[in-house]
Amino acid sequence: MTFPSIFLVQADNPPVKYLGPLLSESFKYFLSRSTRLQPTSITQLDDLIKFKTSDETVFVLYLPQPDQYILSAYEDLAQKYKHEFSFGVVAGVDELLEKERVDSGSKGVLMAYKPLEGETVKLDFEKANSGVDEIEKFIKQSSRPIITELSPWNHPRLLEPGKPLVYLFAPTASARHDLRKQFLRFAKDYYHQFVSLLVDPFLFPDLMPELGLLDKTSFPAGAVHLVSEDKIFPYPQTEKMTLGKVQGWGMRIWQGDVEPWTPGSEKKKKEEKKTPGGGGGGGGGDSGIRIQGKVGTKRKVTVGGGAGGWGKGKGKVPNIPGVKINIPGVMRDEL
């Protein structure tokens, strides 16, 4: 068991472990939804207005006509996710359906309300499948905030779509709040391209080293995990982490100019720095050129123009079949 650990104990029910962020607001929402009937039947306008802002993410199913197939699927999913989100049902209440502009002749809609972000997302059953899989997919996708506070509940689910994950670490709630404000617009602009995560390093003590952030006392810290390629890029902990610097660093990753991190790579770099570069007679030196083979392997070659090195273009590029040689300002492909 990890600490602190929080359990909700209710009569005649097994204990429920709280797996959300260690924030008072998040815990308050957890208590509220855990003691509420899921899904909650809503028949009054005042109750609907209050319910839509009662949680960080609220789902309300609007059914103009009884539909046991949709309702049954929704009820099953409400039970599955009852400790994470709040679920309501408006069935056959004309006043509320008109208020939400739900056509009385339609199959119904499922609405996701995110009051903290002012966002509303709709699943229209006239246009989408009304089965369990489609509804669950909508619940997972629409419930993701612009910047997600990482928790044991949502971490495995966030890995499923295979989108790049951007981790932002800060040790206190106020520091994470500042990071959220700093990166909110950026995260919103790229919401569909990657997943932005705020992380409490004390809740995930092993995560920073797993992402190549070896100094567990340096904050704020950040890393990018390209899930589909299983590549990790820790933001240099010796550099200040500002929005502009992070954007520039991210662009270099996208262009392929940043090497992914692997366990032990930091030690290897230090050893390479200690080893003096070899060179041809007369101090030609190591040009630091890398060559890329067809199978993706890299090796280092020394290219120099005798004692003068690269001076005045005297250096020659070797012809090596099947490899691509990348030199600043030169591109040559020997195939």
Q: Are strands 7-8 and 16-17 parallel, antiparallel or unpaired?
A: antiparallel
Residue 9 lies inside a defined structural domain of this protein? no
Assigned domain for 191 exists: yes
Same domain assignment for residues 115 and 156: no
Alpha-helical runs (H) found in 13-111:
24-34, 45-51, 68-80, 94-99
Let me know whether 128 and 195 are in one domain: no
Residue 276 falls within a domain, yes or no? no
117 and 46 assigned to the same domain: yes
Quote the longest CA-to-CA distance of the chain: 90
pLDDT of residue 151: 85
Of the candidates 140, 97, 103, the residue with the CA atom closest to the CA atom of residue 125: 103
Domain boundary at 125, 143, 161, which?
143
CATH of the domain at 36: 3.40.30.10
Q: Are 121 and 186 in the same domain? A: no
225 domain residue, yes or no: yes
Specify the pTM: 0.68
Same-domain check for residues 83 and 138: yes
Residue 31 and residue 97 in one domain: yes
Q: Does 108 map to a domain?
A: yes
Residues 88 and 105 grouped into a single domain: yes
133 and 174: one domain?
A: no
Provide the number of structural domains found in the chain.
3
Same domain, 41 and 91: yes
| Cβ atoms 150, 144 nearer than 8 A | no
Does some domain include residue 254? yes
CB burial of residue 240 (10 Å; 0-12, 13-18, 19+)? exposed
The whole-number pLDDT of residue 2 equals: 58
* 29 and 138 within one domain: yes
Could you give the CA distance from residue 151 to residue 148 in angstroms, rounded to a whole number?
A: 9
- Same domain? 159 vs 255: yes
Q: Tens-digit pLDDT profile for the chain (335 aa)?
A: 555 678 888 888 888 888 777 778 888 999 888 888 899 999 999 999 999 999 999 999 999 998 899 999 999 999 999 989 999 999 999 999 999 999 988 899 999 999 988 899 999 998 887 788 999 999 999 998 999 999 887 888 888 778 999 999 999 999 999 999 999 999 999 999 999 999 999 989 999 999 999 999 999 999 999 999 999 999 999 999 999 999 999 999 999 999 999 886 665 555 555 555 544 444 444 433 343 433 444 444 444 444 433 333 444 444 444 444 454 444 444 33
Partnered with residue 289 across adjacent β-strands are 301
Structure tokens belonging to residue 188:
């919103």
Identify the domain containing residue 43 by its residue range.
24-143
Write the CB contacts of 173 (distance below 8 Å, at least 6 apart in sequence): 22, 23
163 and 137 fall within a common domain: no
Residue 36 confidence (pLDDT)? 86
Residue 109 lies in a domain: yes
**Quick check: is 12 in a domain?**
no
Report pLDDT for 241.
94
Which of 119, 143, 167 represents a domain boundary (last residue)?
A: 143
> Of 113, 143, 173, which residue sits at a domain end?
143
Q: Are 182 and 220 in contact (CB under 8 A)?
A: no
Whether residue 39 is preceded by a cis peptide bond, meaning omega within 30 degrees of 0, is yes
Please name which of 71, 85, 88, 110 lies closest in space to residue 34, comparing C-alpha atoms.
Answer: 85
| N residues, the chain | 335
The pLDDT score that the predictor gives to residue 47 is: 96
Please give the pLDDT value at position 198. Answer: 96
